[in-house]
Amino acid sequence: MQELCHWIDGKEAKGTTGRFSDVFNPATGEVIARVPLASATELAAAIDSAEKAQIGWAATNPQRRARVMMRFGQLIHDNMDMLAELVSREHGKTLPDARGDVQRGLEVIEVCMGAPALLKGEYTDNAGPGIDLYSMRQPLGVVAGITPFNFPAMIPLWKMGPALAAGNAMILKPSERVPSTSIALAKLAQEAGLPDGVLQVVNGDKEIVDAILDHPTIQAVGFVGSTPIAQYIYGRAASNGKRAQCFGGAKNHMLIMPDADLDKATDALLGAGFGAAGERCMAISVAVPVGDETADALIERLVPKIEKLKVGPYTAGDDVDFGPVITKAAQERINRLIASGVDEGAKLVVDGRDLKIQGYENGFFCGPSLFDHVTPDMEIYREEIFGPVLSSVRAKTYEDALKLVMDNDYGNGTAIYTADGDTARDFASRVNVGMVGVNFPIPVPLSYYTFGGWKKSAFGDLNQYGPDAFRFYTKTKTVTARWFSGIKDGAALNFKALD
């Protein structure tokens, strides 16, 4: 069996703790590798080396750092198929979807090629007699990225791109379920010219995360994962004086207005509800048709299309719509939640629980499921299911539908399907959710905007990637400088204006 490594000081490093976690191929249910789980001692060695490497990297001019990003981006592009294969093998998503995972990460690296412009400071000459005032953005030092299983390439790239381009060193702690992509990316970054030590990949579980959160050298923590862990990490990092931004789970609603193009809305729900087996933080898990007529027509269109969805291993070719879920435990949890929906009175219109795929009987597959007549008190509505389960909550009016979204604890993404500009505009303006789609089901902003949810979908300040990420990974220093030619000034004991 393959034994995976950490990436420390520009080299593969075997684990020394004797603790490992199994890595599965979710399509077959087989253990394909084991990943070492690091201890605080191994982490300390990685941080020590990162701290030394960061000094030279921060002193490298931003344009040279951007050139490393340029070569890194090119290498990611050239190795797209290799990276997608790694993603699919450990995660289970289809190859076209895995390429999308790599691509959306690559796009953030592309923005990082423009880092010098994003790192510029401000300058005011003659702010007072002989006085110039300027600000500069400086890297924080050694920062950490802690990432989830569901985007093995994209989210590590969202973390490492801006942090490194800004002159930091990063300790990346990828999900122990999908560790190989991060190691492959670290190797490509080295090939692109990133100095050894600037990026360290340390694998592990809660033990290593806690060690990261408590280590005094780590200046900032960028986390993505489930809400309870996001909230925990935010609290512990902040109480240790670190900058933290922690992105959590989601329950994304899509409103379908009576005037919506129902065929387009149906197709949107298929992709956004079931793509990647529903394991996306921007997946639509709740459809909110407005009016019973809209709801009936929507269900009528959805059912035959859902029943035609093809579920299978990524190796079965491009006509597979989605693959397995990540673990046996996830599969069992999803099936349990479906049973709870039935028990609580929701109407299970399509039941995906008993899917068996010949030759892959031990894979962690869940077929697509559709619930109608779901109500907000049900567990299937309150919980983030993170599986291929779409719930329809019928709303009587637009205001009721809007209130449903507003009252939900999560605020990552939402969408509205309508032909009416005023309704769409009202929704976008009033809804308390971070990312909004108008006739667009998964509104993940492009890499030169920023990504982030509201409410329990994010803790801390500033969004991921784009200009916000450069603010998060730098601190501002402001200099007030005076030169004395022609200026007569005595001692000033009072606080006063510069003029």
Closer to ligand NAD by Cβ: residue 39 or 175: 175
Shortest Å distance, C-beta 444 to ligand NAD: 9
Closer to ligand NAD by Cβ: residue 315 or 327: 327
Shortest Å distance, C-beta 310 to ligand NAD: 24
In this structure, the number of other CB atoms found within 10 A of the CB of residue 263 comes to 10
> What gap in Å lies between CA 329 and CA 336, rounded to an integer?
10
Beta bridge partners of 370: 350, 390
**Alpha-carbon distances of 329 from 245, 325, 494, rounded to whole Å:** 28, 9, 66
Closer to ligand NAD by Cβ: residue 206 or 396: 206
3-state SS string for 71-139: HHHHHHHHCHHHHHHHHHHHHCCCHHHHHHHHHHHHHHHHHHCCHHHHCCCEEEEEEECCEEEEEEEEE
Closer to ligand NAD by Cβ: residue 24 or 149: 149
Shortest Å distance, C-beta 422 to ligand NAD: 30
Give the footprint of ligand NAD on this chain (CB under 6 A): 146-151, 173, 175-176, 205-206, 209, 224-226, 229, 247-250, 281, 384, 386, 412, 453, 457
Closer to ligand NAD by Cβ: residue 245 or 418: 245
Q: Are 138 and 125 in contact (CB under 8 A)?
A: no
Considering 5, 112, 246, 281, which one is annotated as catalytic? 281
Name the residue whose CB lies closest to ligand NAD: 225
Kindly report the backbone phi and psi dihedral angles of residue 358, in degrees, each rounded to the nearest multiple of 5, phi listed first: -60, 130
For tokens 């789609």, what's the residue? 437
Shortest Å distance, C-beta 147 to ligand NAD: 6
Closer to ligand NAD by Cβ: residue 282 or 295: 282
Shortest Å distance, C-beta 248 to ligand NAD: 6
The burial class, CB within 10 Å (0-12 / 13-18 / 19+), for 349 is middle
Q: Clarify whether 112 is annotated catalytic.
A: no
Closer to ligand NAD by Cβ: residue 363 or 453: 453
Shortest Å distance, C-beta 177 to ligand NAD: 7
Shortest Å distance, C-beta 252 to ligand NAD: 9
Closer to ligand NAD by Cβ: residue 118 or 224: 224
Shortest Å distance, C-beta 260 to ligand NAD: 26
User: For residue 62, what are the contacts with CB-CB under 8 A and spacing of at least 6?
Assistant: 115, 116, 119, 165, 167
| Length, in residues, of the chain | 499
> What gap in Å lies between CA 379 and CA 348, rounded to an integer?
14
> What gap in Å lies between CA 423 and CA 257, rounded to an integer?
9
Q: Which positions are catalytic?
A: 281
